[in-house]
Structure 1
Amino acid sequence: MSYFDGIAPATFQGPDSTDPLAYRHYDPAEVVMGKTMEEHLRFAVAWWHSFAWPGTDPFGGQTFERPWFGDTMDLARAKADAAFDLFAILGQPYFCFHDADIRPEGANFAENTRNLEEIVDYIAAKMETGGPKLLWGTANLFSHRRYMSGAATNPDPDVFAFAAATVKTCLDATLKLGGENYVLWGGREGYETLLNTDLGKERQQAGRFLTMVVDYAKKIGFNGTILIEPKPQEPSKHQYDYDVATVYGFLKEFGLEGEVKVNIEQGHAILAGHSFEHELAMAASMAIFGSIDMNRNDYQSGWDTDQFPDNPREVALAYYEVIRAGGFTTGGTNFDAKLRRQSLDAEDLVAAHIGAMDVCARGFKAAAAMWEDGALEQARAARYVGWSRGDAPALLQEGTLETIAECVLRDDINPQPRSGRQEKLENVVSQFI
């Protein structure tokens, strides 16, 4: 008996539908800008929040009672069965996982590895029957107590070694399942107090760790993209992968800017004091844009609430930057989002994903319409047109303070401010939402 018994596969019924378990805006076969919506959005379901998370928060314990909860291989297989039942209902093309989401915790590294290999074989067999593909795999290097002081940045070399060995097994698993990316999220790669922290040493450890990951991926023939997911804090006071710009500086320091890209989460962008679209635009400008985790924060809370997206305007602005970046290649839209603790039923899990996919589809189509309309890009180009005229290109490329000062005096340059026309551009966006 399936946990989702009685829930039919979701179908596209159009914007007039009142069925909460039907797609109103997401038609995977709809062609927009020369590609289907499925190809553009590349939706993925996150194994951890949808199947492993028990409904806890910082002030309360487990509220979910799933029949697959528990640390046995039989229950791990039952969890995989439930996951693929949900995938069949949603029809999304991808899923994502951490190792600890899909296998029970063993007594040691060897048992963890055996458990992982066994459940990966089980998942691979299910994928062969027509299930979704793996967007990316990753290792959970933050939940177990051994990682309380970090993984790659841990002061104990034994923890560093255990983490590195674990990443090796997860890269192997990702390759075996045909994953298109591999993600590293430094959930505890940071510090809680500077009183016991050597920032320089930990940074070097993190750089060496990432270099080893890149080298091993090449050695085994993993042709996917290696991704880092930025986050500024929570649970650590400070984390080394604070935001996209910080990650880029880290990659440049260790010569990895051509090897590693970023997986950007909306909620993490907000925690860093940015907007989602800012982080996306920053990554594109630095040529490290890879993939996204789609969710939202509660703006009345100061922490990462990981809610499903429900704001088409926010989503449209984000996807506009994805389009400007050239769209996804190996990346996609992973729902790193979880139900509220009061949402206990199987139907809640289905409805959450359907609603989120609809919001994303609605936002993406608005973004595509804005892109094809061209008004925003025309305004952007017009704002910088002066840099293509007269002596401006040479000023930037060859000018010195002395030659520029001479030019300003000679030509009596006396510039006047020009409007940025922000409100007009915001009104343009509103036309499409």
Structure 2
Amino acid sequence: MTSGFFDGIDKITYGGSESDAALSFRHYNPDELILGKRMEDHLRFAVAWWHSFAWEGQDPFGGQTFERPWHPQDDMGRAKLKVDVAFEMFALLGQPYFCWHDADIRPEQGNFRDNLATLEEITDYIGTKMEQSGTRCLWGTANMFSHRRWMAGASTNPDPDVFAFAAATVKSCIDATHKLGGENYVLWGGREGYETLLNTDMGQELDHMGRFLNMVVEYKHKIGFKGTILVEPKPQEPSKHQYDFDAATCIGFLRKYGLEDEVKLNLEQGHAILAGHSFEHEIAVATAEGMLGSIDMNRNDYQSGWDTDQFPNNVPEVALAYYHILKAGGFLTGGTNFDAKLRRQSLDAEDLLAAHVGAMDVCARGLKAAAAMLEDGGLEDALRERYAGWDTPEARAMLESDLDSIAARVLADDINPKPRSGRQEILENMVNRFV
């Protein structure tokens, strides 16, 4: 017995690059070996519960456009129908994972006791579906930004009762993620920032946020949760001054509060753009510090100043992202979550599937291009050549020296370096051979 939402749509299969079917994979072949590993195991795709099932089509300028059988999302019967539809979609796509917020999967009850009861009920229901399907939980998280109680933050809120409500909520969501066998737990700080310094004690708020995250790590170990704790940079979403602005900011924060060995990053392409970075920049910052955990694959409209969360369609951008991920050894517990939503005019069930099919194909093409670049080795050869001067004994000794000694050597040897080309256009042309 199915929900009927996807009636008339068959399981989506790999048809190859010549396929002209609207719902067919042209590039995503889960069993294809890339660098000796199955494509599915490289990419570890996940469906985002919030955008795919909970989002109703509203934007900053207009309200609901989607009319789903589970709307309004205000009782457990419709929440369970939403679960049924979700697992039917996972089966049609062959998606190995899903991700969720608590507010996506259970209706808001207005108090913690009832929120906890409905969360436990719905995760029991989801667990049954997981046993039947084999689909797994990549990560769970708590939505601590939508309800009005979070308007001044969660862990950074000036009201200690809100801090307490946040702590109880996160505990319940870690418990639920643990119960569902989640491979990670994410903290999204959507309101962990400020609007004006006139009413903000930034130092106290940062200390509270650091202590809160330490409590999360302590609780993880207490209950034996083996998954990775992740934090997600969220610039300008919605506060102009977010404490978790970008990868570098988060890494500095984690080090300040002694969390660098316990917490990694969940990076999103759309958030990279809002921070003024490229996605590969954010990934490279994280991998350089050994702190890449997982990614949210989407894109933003480059002409808009807000997070449009569109499905990825730019193969060169995706290829460079996966290039840095593969260079770092690939995902461990993380994966590729489609934190992306349909356009509000794309109303049909087929649209929801087609968006994921296209995104999975784009990621597959990007992964194959990234692997080919690594196997070719041209980019790495150029990188080694550019820094080859640092392989000499004199250069290595200089890093252990002091300014007086270095200055004396420059005078004695009459060092007067001539600039060398960075060869950017040649390297960009090299990339274009693969994408």
TM-score normalized with structure 1 length:
0.99
Q: Are 1:384 and 2:387 matched, yes or no?
A: yes
Q: Distance in 1 between matches of 2:110 and 2:16?
A: 51
Q: Distance in 2 between matches of 1:344 and 1:194?
A: 42
Match of 1:25 in 2: 27
The 5 A counterparts of 1:285-364 are: 285-364=288-367
Structure 1 counterpart of 2:401, from 399, 402, 419? 399
Between 1:170-179 and 1:229-238, the stretch displaced more is 229-238
Report the secondary structure of 1:210's partner residue. helix
User: How far has the Cα of 1:410 moved from its partner?
Assistant: 1.2
Deviations 1:73-124 (A, max 9, x none): 1111000000001001100110000011001111310100000000000000
Q: Which letter maps to 2:263?
A: V
Match of 2:111 in 1: 108
Match of 1:161 in 2: 164
Report the secondary structure of 1:314's partner residue. helix
CA contact (8 A) 1:87 1:131 kept: no
CA contact (8 A) 1:3 1:346 kept: yes
Q: Distance in 2 between matches of 1:345 and 1:107?
A: 32
Structure 2 counterpart of 1:419, from 418, 421, 431? 421
Q: Are 1:170 and 2:173 matched, yes or no?
A: yes
Match of 1:4 in 2: 6
Q: Which letter maps to 1:307?
A: Q
Q: Distance in 1 between matches of 2:309 and 2:50?
A: 12
Structure 1 counterpart of 2:146, from 118, 143, 146? 143
Q: Which letter maps to 1:151?
A: A
Between 1:339-348 and 1:408-417, the stretch displaced more is 408-417
Match of 2:257 in 1: 254
Deviations 1:274-330 (A, max 9, x none): 000000000001111110000000111111100000010110011001111110000
Match of 1:198 in 2: 201
Aligned residues: 432
User: Gapped runs of 5+ residues in structure 2?
Assistant: none
Q: CA RMSD in A?
A: 0.7
User: How far has the Cα of 1:413 moved from its partner?
Assistant: 1.0
Q: Distance in 1 between matches of 2:132 and 2:4?
A: 17
Deviations 1:198-251 (A, max 9, x none): 100100010010000000011000111000000111211211000000001100
Structure 1 counterpart of 2:241, from 235, 238, 241? 238
CA contact (8 A) 1:193 1:237 kept: no
TM-score normalized with structure 2 length:
0.99
Q: Distance in 2 between matches of 1:31 and 1:403?
A: 53
CA contact (8 A) 1:84 1:131 kept: no
Match of 1:71 in 2: 74
Spell out structure 1 runs of 4+ moving beyond 6 A: none
Structure 2 counterpart of 1:39, from 38, 41, 44? 41
Match of 1:366 in 2: 369
Structure 2 counterpart of 1:279, from 274, 278, 282? 282
Report the secondary structure of 1:134's partner residue. strand
Q: Are 1:429 and 2:431 matched, yes or no?
A: yes
Q: Distance in 2 between matches of 1:168 and 1:229?
A: 18
Q: Which letter maps to 1:222?
A: F
Q: Distance in 2 between matches of 1:385 and 1:158?
A: 57
CA contact (8 A) 1:88 1:131 kept: no
Q: Distance in 2 between matches of 1:232 and 1:79?
A: 30
Report the secondary structure of 1:307's partner residue. coil
Q: Distance in 1 between matches of 2:135 and 2:433?
A: 36
Match of 1:93 in 2: 96
User: How far has the Cα of 1:14 moved from its partner?
Assistant: 0.2
Deviations 1:409-431 (A, max 9, x none): 11111111000100000001000
Q: Distance in 2 between matches of 1:373 and 1:239?
A: 40
Match of 1:84 in 2: 87
Report the secondary structure of 1:140's partner residue. coil
CA contact (8 A) 1:23 1:358 kept: yes
CA contact (8 A) 2:323 2:371 kept: yes
User: How far has the Cα of 1:68 moved from its partner?
Assistant: 0.8
Q: Which letter maps to 1:50?
A: S
CA contact (8 A) 2:316 2:366 kept: yes
Q: Distance in 2 between matches of 1:295 and 1:232?
A: 15
Q: Which letter maps to 1:278?
A: H
CA contact (8 A) 1:291 1:332 kept: yes
Match of 1:14 in 2: 16
Q: Which letter maps to 1:88?
A: A
Match of 2:127 in 1: 124
Q: Which letter maps to 1:198?
A: D
Identical residues among aligned pairs (%): 71
Q: Distance in 1 between matches of 2:240 and 2:388?
A: 43
Match of 1:181 in 2: 184
Q: Distance in 1 between matches of 2:357 and 2:201?
A: 46
